[in-house]
Amino acid sequence: MALRIGILTGGGDCPGLNAVIRAVAKSLMRQCGATVIGIADGFAGLMEAAPRVRELTWESVSGILMRGGTILGTSNRANPLRSEADTARVLEHARALGLQALVVIGGDGSMAIAHGLSQRGLPIVGVPKTIDNDILGCERSFGFDTAVATVTEAIERLQTTAESHGRVMIVETMGRYAGWIALEAGLAGAADVILLPEIDYDVEAVAAVCRARAQRQRYTLICIGEGAKPIGGELTVQRRIADSPDPIRLGGVAHALREALEVRLDVEVRATVLGHVQRGGAPTPFDRVLATQFGNEAAQLVMQGAFDRMVTLQEGRLTSVSLAAVAHGSRCVPQDHPLLRAARQIGVSLGEPA
């Protein structure tokens, strides 16, 4: 009897989701004549009283490789493990839909759910999805290259303005727990200072770089990950807007650093928070290829019956890991990473005290 496999995307939007969906669906259809059932809006689509699903056809997944977003829709709130009733409903719906297995494309939250449901008897294969490149056990995930490209382009744009006006320009990138985007985009965009969640920064050291550059190059470009913190805690602005219902949206870290630098420097300081544009858009060719591989590998795991596992890239090779091993925690930039050494040696400041 032919396989009947469900597929869903959970968590925030990420370039390459459609490329994964396409590769999973085409591989399963072509290799074993499977029926592939697309579930709407992540786990939400399975949790509601009437599950929202539709069969994916070869045509419906053709032409979506380059498209950003997800044709299935997503949600970042639904969590069927939150209550026993929700868990039971999801398992019941999967059974009622005749699903022999489920492919879950999502972030660490989705992988934790996937592992929980696997333990409860629903065979699941996970595919890591993270703009921030911070899922445990995965060296490089799709969407990250696109995000780095978007941020790099923004840095290049800001640089010409910084240079023309002799300003300090701060650009805030995504990356709450891990600084990969700020690090790679900062290096690719020739930022002068790169501040990461993994290395608390010294405001005085940053100001010193700006002062030195004001003499010769006239401008300084600072790339800061949204999770970066000054040594000794938060800066004043962050406190001042702390009673706002939504401090993140107001671009805490970049504006806080701006205020801290303005009182220390003579030159103009401007901050830009890139925000949602980092999540969207067509995936780069690199991400299309990586996402296609991830999707194809997920299909192999399904066909092999290797469940409760996540497709991944390790030591440059496509492989898989146990969901249990990756469901909790973030993959941060290690202190001895060669990119940090490269940054320091070519003269990029990481905000470290002199």
**Site residues (CB under 8 A) for its own copies, limited to 264-303:** 270-277, 279-282, 284-286, 288-289, 292-293, 296-297, 299
CA atoms of 261 and 204, how far apart (whole Å):
9
Output 52 or 211, the one with its CB closest to its own copies: 52
Q: Does residue 211 bind its own copies (CB under 8 A)?
A: no
Look at the block and give the residue holding tokens 């999540």.
279
CA atoms of 164 and 219, how far apart (whole Å):
8
Q: Does residue 187 bind its own copies (CB under 8 A)?
A: yes
Q: Does residue 91 bind its own copies (CB under 8 A)?
A: no
Look at the block and give the residue holding tokens 């949206």.
249
Q: Does residue 104 bind its own copies (CB under 8 A)?
A: no
Q: Does residue 165 bind its own copies (CB under 8 A)?
A: yes
Point out which span in 94-102, 119-127, 187-195, 204-212 binds its own copies (CB under 8 A). Answer: 187-195
Among 8, 45, 74, 168, binds its own copies (CB under 8 A): 74
Q: Is 132 a catalytic residue?
A: yes
CA atoms of 272 and 185, how far apart (whole Å):
15
CA distances from 330 to 107, 187, 265 (A): 10, 22, 36
Q: Does residue 341 bind its own copies (CB under 8 A)?
A: yes
- Closest listed residue to residue 53, CA positions, set 70, 36, 68, 65: 36
Q: Per the annotation, does 120 bind a ligand?
A: no
Output 203 or 298, the one with its CB closest to its own copies: 298
* Helix H or strand E encompassing 305: none
Question: Looking at this protein, which amino acid is placed at residue 254?
Answer: A
- Closest listed residue to residue 349, CA positions, set 220, 230, 167: 220
Point out which span in 48-56, 74-82, 100-108, 203-211 binds its own copies (CB under 8 A). Answer: 74-82
Identified catalytic residue from 132, 145, 192, 202: 132
Q: Does residue 54 bind its own copies (CB under 8 A)?
A: no
Point out which span in 95-103, 121-129, 144-152, 197-205 binds its own copies (CB under 8 A). Answer: 144-152
CA distances from 136 to 99, 204, 328, 331 (A): 28, 34, 8, 5
Query: How many other CB atoms are there within 10 angstroms of residue 20's CB atom?
Result: 30
Beta strands in 178-233 (DSSP E): 193-195, 220-225
Catalytic residues: 132
Indicate the annotated binding residues for substrate.
130-132, 167, 174-176, 226, 270, 276-279
